[in-house]
A and B are shown apart, each in its own frame.
Chain A
Amino acid sequence: MSLRGRDIVSIRDLSTEEINEILDRARKLIPIAEGKKSSDALDGRVVATAFFEPSTRTRLSFEAAVQRLGGRCLTIADIGVTSMRKGESLYDTIRMLSSYSDAIVLRHPNEGAARLAADASDQPVINAGDGANQHPTQALLDLMAIEESFGTLAGLKVVLLGDLKYGRTVHSLSLALAQYGSEMVLSAPKALALPEDLRSELDSLGAKITEEPEIKRAVRDADVLYVTRIQKERFPDEGEYRTVAGSYRVDASVLEGAKPRLIVLHPLPRAGEVDPEVDRTPHAAYFRQAFLAVPVRMALLSSILPSGRAG
């Protein structure tokens, strides 16, 4: 099925075949993402990156992806400089943006914002994170990082560690892993457990899920340790955050009994949950993972948008 013109709001919007297609294309685009080859696949195309929440990697990797493919970006990186500060609705803002661009990449603090944007826009909308809900393009690059290390996505044991309640990256990733039949081990403080409705959705998909709050035990037979930051900004109050702050940390001692091929992933930024000493171990894969954001987003954009002038 073609992805041309499609909205990517949730990882649920993509079938396994479509994910495979994006990852195949992303692998071929790595030399362009590295600047070793050039491309004009998006020549003449304008992509709006509308970020109403802080972002480093997601926005910059989307913009790098557009520019590596010869396209241009319209950027909103600060809500304070838009008319939303004057009370303009997101709906109206997106209507306007869709008339200025060929696709919209949106990050927003409210869950469901990307779905609203997809309804409002005449152009395809890509969700770059909506509150604590979904971050489908992060899941795609997480999958690519796993596949690059193991050559497969099937039959792996993946530990999801940390803030599984508010962490949108794990919400998207867990749904994608379920499609590939990976075994998931949930390791989280009780207060940060995976939302119940997502858990039951995963169960209904036949996902193999166990729980192990003790990190060392969780990691023992695992292939992937996916660590997340506690999403401080999503907590309704500071007190609730303080009860879980600093409740887990991955350092070299945690990884002592792990498989030699275990990889540690993290969507970044980290805030103390992965000790920098892990960077010097062969397990650290999170900087490579961050780089893969560029070819994955190139693959997605070039699948969704029609070829540029030269294409």
Chain B
Amino acid sequence: MNGVNGHGHRALSLVPKTDAKQTLKDFKTDQEVRWCPGCGDYAILAAVQSFLPELGLRRENITFVSGIGCSSRFPYYMNTYGFHSIHGRAPAIATGLATSRPDLSVWVVTGDGDALSIGGNHLIHALRRNVNLKILLFNNRIYGLTKGQYSPTSEVGKITKSTPMGSLDAPFNPISLAIGAEGTFVARTIDSDRKHLQSVLRAAAQHEGTALVEIYQNCNIFNDGAFDPLKDAAVRDDVTIRLEDGQPIVFGANGEKALRRTNTGAFEVVNVTDVDPSEIAVHDAGNPDPSQAFALSRLDQPAFTHTPIGVFRNVDRPSYDEEMRAQMDDAVAKQGAGDLAALLSSGDTWRID
């Protein structure tokens, strides 16, 4: 299967495959899942567990690394190798693993607090380096595990335990941030839409380099209904823009709306019947110039008037892992394999008899 832009299999080419038939069950552990009943994390877990068999990878060559937070319990429920690490640091730890083990498929599971607050630095650097990591960012716009403080993606004015008069922070838009951080694969999906979620995971898995997948995830305890406009059957088709590479960006229950690029570079929503078809923007995820993907990301505002989902950006750039391996190979090719005795006695030496 090819990536969205027909990229090859580079990302997983070095990961051993299995001929044995895998099912969702193979990826379940004997550990009791301990998220709150009704949490969006259950749906994501089931979607990932039922998607992984289609990659056909040996289970022992898959590793999930997480930070701290509700979402970061994820590895305990995956019957693969797993590392539940430190708050915010999963991308750093996963970078060490992925850059030293090309035979592994390394996934990072993180949340909006973990990835964008305490771990913001590691996230942006993983993205710019293009390390071979698939980062699943569960965005519920709230701190769940610490029981309900506002997060870096909470809307301004959010009333929480730590902001009784409303939060003052302007939120991050994770997609804009990732594109700005030189991300090569940036996508968004929703916990409740398994088909879409899995289609995005499919594209992410095949991407060489860092894939950031933002997953809108409902926290039914501390921020219930945060994404209702995208889920409510009555309005969701009017506000959800499903991005498909190479296709005109058209949406609405009957495809009656479209996006047109204005002369400022931003997008505006138009009625299909009001414009010439040539004016309707065509999605181009593989465009090396990130400005169109960025403009798309700006359509998403806290009120969910228009929210694009799907793959915003998917461009080909050598991964950090590939480049690191190339330097290592090059060093051996040019200088030969290391000889410890020769190294120790390099430089000015003298002999005493």
Q: Do A and B bind each other?
A: no
